[in-house]
Structure 1
């Protein structure tokens, strides 16, 4: 599953920050400041202006990856990619400790404090790779800055997306990657569109067999109940994410034609 947000058809993603720096929290301001520290003043000014003028057409938050499309000087939009590493082994106890304090359900709903968010959103320098299909490389170019501005506004409002960006919790079966990239300029019905998609680092789910009750009584549900009963936060979070992938894959079927 992944999260996509984009603007209305013919327009990009709107931002709320009309002047000054982007980022409402210490951790989001720190991340974008680290990126801007490696960019030219022209790229920073132009990138912020591009974000405010809705040049960023769409942003997809996937498993350890963010992919976005930005309108620029050429007919086709430029593609910007951020690649995030998994958490360092030394950070895992911090993450698990913070999850234990706030509670799993609250964290998944977005109740993430600054300590946890700071660990989940690392400094760019040496930790986050970025690229853009524009000629102004190695950057950070104005397109990467524009995407970063839009991204931190999203994370300020929905910090639970940080888990997917960092690939936490780690999951088996990373082969057979499958990722949907949004079509540049694709129209939406609202300014911000969140939805669940198949995990980009997992193979396509198998065809289900039996009834829905069979699935609910299956091994995944029993494993989930066992993890909850034993207070295993890491296993619970992983199984929840897998069950969501399965649930939404069952609904990913074409609409019947109207008569």
Structure 2
């Protein structure tokens, strides 16, 4: 939903000028920002979650400081940017933009950091920097290295990144060719000054919190700390098994049966943040199915946690189909393992649906819960208001005229679609052009343009 830069020119190519556009007040001065012309900021903290963090725009800084970052990992990020750049002049202008505070709120998700950058025109440019995420094997090596030394965990909690942890055999910090910048400005430099400004500003975020780098590589802070806790618990359990059991002290019968006043009950513990995963049940000949036991225990824990924290059973008002989708969505993955495929097949058979129907419904449930499933299966006629304002907003974002039908707006090429839910959010869908095979994608948003962020490539729009 935005125009990005094209191919990178050869080193030494000249930078196209930014022609100032006149402001709405009529003064037309270069660099003047007209509030009515600015796009809605993508930096909405209300949309943040485990895998999305938004940081408010940082204030301007003194350009006299020699090093832009103050930590070694922040300077490593800056080195990757500067060593991979093709034009030092663009870097210098990007650093000046960052020094002057021209970078708007920054949004960080796995593999992507993006923000609006104010140039000389009233309307800012949309800049982003992509970085490859780590696979599961790399994360296992990283977590094993972090769990080996208690000081590593303490340093991370203190917002520090030990060098020994960054040198654990995983490419945690980017190299010169790892940062992939893109921007909606007409400059095809690698990077342009707007993407360079975003890179420099990201270094300041890394200074404050190394978990920003870990999120860019694919994992959120809560998931990483949970993984470290499980590894520490496993190490402690193994150490306890290796120790000799302590002798049990004896108690006289008359002391055990003597009348006594019981102390008051302790204050109830606070509810846990999440229900955790149940232990693994080994299979045995003639015993219960370990997969069925794991599924029952996981679902029971999730329902008990919902009753404890919210006072309601999430299954009470669900139909058989909705409950089947909920069970499948609670299982990690998308049918890639044998256990998950068996679960999908069983649930689809019990509800009279196909596994493809169930997979599509699971994607909708993970996108927006029961409301996301309703958006997938139930078209409706929205009242005038939010739906009518969506098409002008899309046209203002340089997108083509979407075709309306009931609560849906479809791209004229038939590969992207927006659906308005009863909750007032826009849900993005994708399909092969002309196939009418729509799948939920992305995160629901109050803004139709925001719902399309990260969907497809600029050439496809």
What TM-score, normalized by structure 1, do the two folds share?
0.58
Correspondences of 1:124-139 after superposition (within 5 Å):
124-125=176-177, 127-139=178-190
Cα distance 1:214–1:107, how it changes in 2: closer, same or farther (>3 A)?
same
Aligned pair partner of 1:121 in 166, 169, 173: 173
C-alpha separation in 2, matches of 1:213 and 1:17: 52
Deviation, structure 1 residue 47 = 1.0
Question: Which entry has the higher C-alpha Rg, 1 or 2?
Answer: 2
Q: Structure 1 residues 132, 155: CA separation in 2 closer, same or farther (over 3 Å shift)?
A: same
Alignment of 1:1-259 (within 5 A): 1=49, 2-7=52-57, 13-16=58-61, 18=63, 19-37=65-83, 38-87=85-134, 91-92=138-139, 94-100=141-147, 101-102=149-150, 107=156, 110-117=159-166, 119-125=171-177, 127-168=178-219, 212-214=306-308
Is contact 1:80-1:143 (8 Å) kept?
yes
Structure 1 160/140 Cα, relative in aligned 2: closer, same or farther at 3 Å?
A: same
Distance 1:48 1:107, change over 3 A: same
What CA distance in whole angstroms lies between the structure 1 residues aligned with 2:120 and 2:303? 50
How many angstroms apart in 1 are the aligned matches of 2:95 and 2:189? 19
CA distance in 1, matches of 2:76, 2:180: 16
Q: Relative contact order (alpha carbons < 8 A, sep ≥ 6): 1 or 2 greater? A: 1
Cα distance in 1, alignment partners of residues 72 and 305 from structure 2: 48
- What CA distance in whole angstroms lies between the structure 1 residues aligned with 2:60 and 2:115? 15
Question: Residue 101 of structure 2: SS of its match in structure 1?
Answer: coil
Aligned to 1:228: none
Deviation at 1:14, TM superposition (A): 1.5
Structure 1's 57 and 64: CA in aligned 2 closer, same or farther, altered over 3 A?
same
- Aligned partners of 2:166 and 2:120: how far apart in 1? 35
Q: CA deviation at 1:72?
A: 0.7
Whether the aligned pair in 1 keeps the contact of 2:62 and 2:99 (CA below 8 Å) is: yes
After TM superposition, give the deviation of residue 56 of structure 1 in Å: 0.5
Shift of the 111–210 alpha-carbon distance from structure 1 to 2, 3 Å rule, reads same
Residue 25 to residue 90, structure 1, CA distance change in 2 (3 Å): farther
On the 8 A contact 2:80/2:174 being kept in 1, the answer is no
Equivalences, count: 181
Are residues 149 and 95 of structure 1, via their aligned partners in 2, closer, same or farther at CA, if it must alter by over 3 Å?
Answer: same
Going from structure 1 to structure 2, the CA distance change for 1:45 and 1:121 (only over 3 Å counts) comes to same
Does the CA contact (< 8 Å) of 1:15 and 1:150 recur in 2? no
Task: Give the Å deviation of 1:86.
Answer: 1.7
Q: For each residue in 1:125-159, what CA deviation from the matched residue of structure 2 results, as whole angstroms up to 9, or x when unmatched?
A: 1x232111111114211111111111111111111
User: Equivalents in 2 of 1:94, 1:115: separation in Å?
Assistant: 13
Matched-pair contact (CA < 8 Å) for 1:31–1:124: no
Q: Structure 1: how far apart are the matches of 2:146 and 2:216?
A: 17
Task: Tell me the secondary structure at the aligned position of residue 105 of structure 2.
Answer: strand
By how many angstroms is 1:108 displaced?
Answer: 5.1
Unaligned runs of 5+ in 1: 8-12, 172-207, 224-245, 247-252, 255-259
Note the alpha carbon deviations across 1:203-245, whole angstroms, 9 max, x for none: xxxxx989843468999xxx9xxxxxxxxxxxxxxxxxxxxxx
Query: What's the C-alpha RMSD, in Å, of the aligned pairs?
Result: 3.7
For residue 123 of structure 1, report the CA deviation from its aligned partner.
Answer: 1.4
Question: Are the structure 2 counterparts of residues 17 and 124 from structure 1 closer, same or farther at C-alpha, using a change threshold of 3 Å?
Answer: farther
**1:91 positional shift:** 4.2
